[in-house]
Homo-oligomer: A and B are copies of this chain.
Amino acid sequence: MSEIDALKSEIRAFADARDWEIFHTPKNLSMAVSGEAGELVSEFQWLTPEESMKERLSAEKLKDIKMEIADVALYLFRLADVLDVDLAEVMREKMKINETRF
C-alpha cells in the first residue's frame, strides 16, 4: 500500500470507529478543510514574509504551525478518500497543467 493510501486508511479507521457521519460528507469535509486552512493562515497573518521562514520561527510557533498543517492534511486526505480521488495522481496531473500555463 502506498504511503498516502496508508494514511487515508488510518483516517478512515479513525472516522469509522467514531461513526462520524460528518466525516463522510464531501460538503462538510470541504468546510473542514477551509476552516483549518483559515487557522493555518492565521498563524502567519502578522508575520512578515521574512519572519515566516523556518529559521526565524520559534520552536513553539513552528509546533503550532505543524498542527495546523496536519489538520488541513487530515481533512483533505479524508475528502480525497470519500471521493475516491488518487491524490498523487491528481497532483501530478495538475502540475502538468501548470507547466503549460506558466
Residues of A within 8 A of B (CB): 2-4, 7, 10-11, 14, 18, 22, 25-28, 30-49, 51-54, 57, 62, 65-67, 69-74, 76-77, 79-80, 82-85, 87-88, 90-95, 97-99, 102
Contacts and interface: CB of A to CB of B under 8 A. Distances in A.
Contact of A14 (B10, B14, B71, B95): B95
Nearest to A26: B52
Contact of A90 (B26, B57, B70, B80): B70
Given A7-B88, A74-B91, A33 B40 contact: yes
Given A4-B4, A45-B22, A53-B26, A33 B72 contact: yes
15 contacts: A4-B4, A7-B92, A26-B54, A30-B31, A31-B41, A34-B34, A35-B38, A38-B39, A38-B41, A66-B83, A67-B97, A69-B87, A70-B90, A72-B76, A77-B91
